[in-house]
Structure 1
Amino acid sequence: MDVELGWNIALILFFVAMLAGFVDALAGGGGLIVIPVMMLMGFPVLNVLATNKLQGSIGTLTSSLTMMRRGVINYRELRLPAFMSFLGACLGTALIQMIDPSVLDFLIPIVLLAIGLYFLLTPSAGQTEKAARMSRRPFEMGVVPAIGFYDGFFGPGTGSFFSLANITLRGMHIVKASGAARLFNFASNVASVLVFVIGGQVLWLAGAVMICGQIIGSVAGSLVAVRHGSRLIRPLIVLVCFAMVIRFLLQRFWA
């Protein structure tokens, strides 16, 4: 399915995607910006989710490559967990076709609030490399695909979940944790996009416009993340998590 876009709508989508790409590269949660705007424009829900995944996957790819070139991401070390994220998202996207995701309406705001409070009340989180609390193999084979599954099944907050897991369980510095989160999120996004493309849900014209904005925003956000590190990443994670909690509550009680 595709729709005609006037220049004004296309321009809005371009700048919305650029902002989402910038935020996503730093803290995750770009979908929090894209999805409400597209819904307000009257796009059908499934088309919104599919197109958001398409442009988001390009954004996470761009930020991953930028951080890889800057030495933040070591692809050789992360390719296995990235693949496990892909597999988890495939299963999640398949399952969402059969189960109502509203079962997570109560759980997800609580988890997001906990993540936001953790980064808010623990200023030292991710400031330095620390000893891992979980060995590499259980993390890569268990935690990463579980978060990937969540991304395929539901989605909001995936980047923040990956960042938190990298910091708390693997002891990563927040910049390295954010970089790894982008790569894992790219893998899970690709899995979802493939399923949505097969289902014919992607709005290709809108997606093409948004991809252009995403690339610009993702490159800018990645460079800012590398340069300024936790000074921006930690506050943005807190802000994104709290914003998503508010959005969930508004949808639940005032929709």
Structure 2
Amino acid sequence: MDLSFEILAILFAVASVAGFIDAMAGGGGLLTLPALLAAGVPPTQALATNKLQSSFGSFSASWYFVRNGIVSLKEMRLAIVCTFIGSAIGAEAVQHIDASILTSLIPLLLIGISTYFLLAPQTKKNQDQAKMSEAAFALSIGGGVGFYDGFFGPGTGSIFTVCFVAIANFSLVDATARTKVLNFTSNIAALIFFIIAGLPIWEIGLVMAVGGFIGAQFGAKVVVTKGQKWIRPLVITMSMLMAMKLLWEQHQQWLLSIF
């Protein structure tokens, strides 16, 4: 499809802001997906194109964290493999399974994540022993959340982050760094299936990818320099916004009838 230079410039700007937010707290899709739909991109292609551009943003943030020694890919290799496999299975399963039950549960999960970060004390790495082994974490959390991202997606970053904090006892900064690595892994796995199906609109996706890449670099830098001061309120805000958006989409008619 052909879009004007002005529309592409707006999409680039939206992706830049989304990449910045996504690197810190997740939820960048709240901005990019509606922007793609508003530009007239059909829903299925919008999802695929959004996955294309978000893969560049999550790669950008991951690269920053790895390059600065905040996270080691060698230490995360099992979680990366499990996440990739889980996401690939989820991307295939979504084509054959009704997602309505899952979509109704996710807003409640996101509200729970917001509440957790609102009430939980600040954590420091290794202040307590992790609640499960690295292998068990990789298989259950990596594979499970990876499956969810390939199958549906909203809130994946927030879910990964709360698992790294609550189960693996990482600080919020370390948890965010590891989250972006696994987020990139699940994005790539799902994107491969979308590319095979010929769904992404490359012109739009690559323009937004550049914006997302730049924004994610700045967002990752803020994570390192500002730490929990910025991440915690952003995770709470983005989780609540995603929950409200999903609840509105699911119960719009009922809510309108009340008011």
Partner of 2:123 in structure 1? Answer: 126
Q: Secondary structure at the match of 1:201?
A: coil
Q: Which runs of 5+ in 1 are unaligned?
A: none
DSSP 3-state at the match of 1:63? helix
Within-5 A mapping of 1:74-89: 74-89=72-87
Check whether the contact 2:56–2:209 (CA below 8 A) recurs between aligned residues: yes
Structure 1 residues 230 and 127 mapped into 2: Cα distance closer, same or farther (>3 Å)?
Answer: farther
AA aligned opposite 1:118: Y
Question: What residue number does 1:172 align with?
Answer: 170
Contact 1:127 1:230 in 2 (8 A): no
Mapped partners of 2:239, 2:177: distance in 1: 18
Q: Is 1:249 the equivalent of 2:250?
A: no
Equivalent of residue 204 in structure 2, options 175, 195, 206: 206
SS in structure 1 of the partner of residue 71 of structure 2: coil
Does the aligned pair in 1 maintain the 2:56–2:210 contact within 8 Å? Answer: no
Alpha-carbon contact 2:78-2:135 (below 8 Å) kept:
no
1:105-128 per-position Cα deviation (integer Å, ceiling 9, x unaligned): 220000000000110112x24345
Q: What is the match of residue 112 of structure 2?
A: 114
Contact 1:125 1:167 in 2 (8 A): no
Give 1:42 shift: 2.0
Counterpart check, 1:221 vs 2:219: yes
Match of 1:161 in 2: 159
Amino acid at match of 2:234: L
Structure 1 counterpart of 2:140: 142
Match of 1:35 in 2: 33
Larger displacement relative to structure 2 (78-87 or 176-185): 78-87
Q: 1:232 aligns to what?
A: 230
Do the aligned residues in 2 keep the contact of 1:88 with 1:147 (CA within 8 Å)? Answer: yes
TM-score by length of 1: 0.96
Q: Which moved more, 1:9-18 or 1:125-134?
A: 125-134
The number of aligned residues is: 252
Tell me the distance in 2 between the aligned counterparts of 1:125 and 1:93.
35
Distance in 2 (CA, whole Å) between partners of 1:105 and 1:207 is 25
Instruction: Give the C-alpha shift of residue 37 in structure 1.
Output: 1.6
Shift of 1:64: 0.4
Q: CA deviation at 1:79?
A: 1.8
Paired residues of 2:52 and 2:191 also in contact (CA < 8 A): yes
TM-superposed deviation, 1:29: 1.2
Q: Supply the RMSD in Å over aligned alpha carbons.
A: 1.1
Unaligned stretches of 5+ residues in structure 2: 254-259
Of stretches 221-230 and 25-34 in structure 1, the one that deviates more from structure 2 is: 25-34
How high is the TM-score relative to the length of structure 2? 0.94
Q: Distance in 1 between matches of 2:103 and 2:157?
A: 18
Q: Find the residue that maps to 1:112 and give its secondary structure.
A: helix
- Paired amino acid for 2:233: P
- Alpha-carbon distance between aligned partners in 2 of 1:121 and 1:166, rounded to the nearest angstrom: 16
Aligned-pair identity (%): 39
CA displacement at 1:39 relative to structure 2: 1.5
Q: CA deviation at 1:129?
A: 3.4
- Structure 1, 126-135 or 245-254: larger mean CA deviation: 126-135
CA distance in 1, matches of 2:251, 2:38: 18
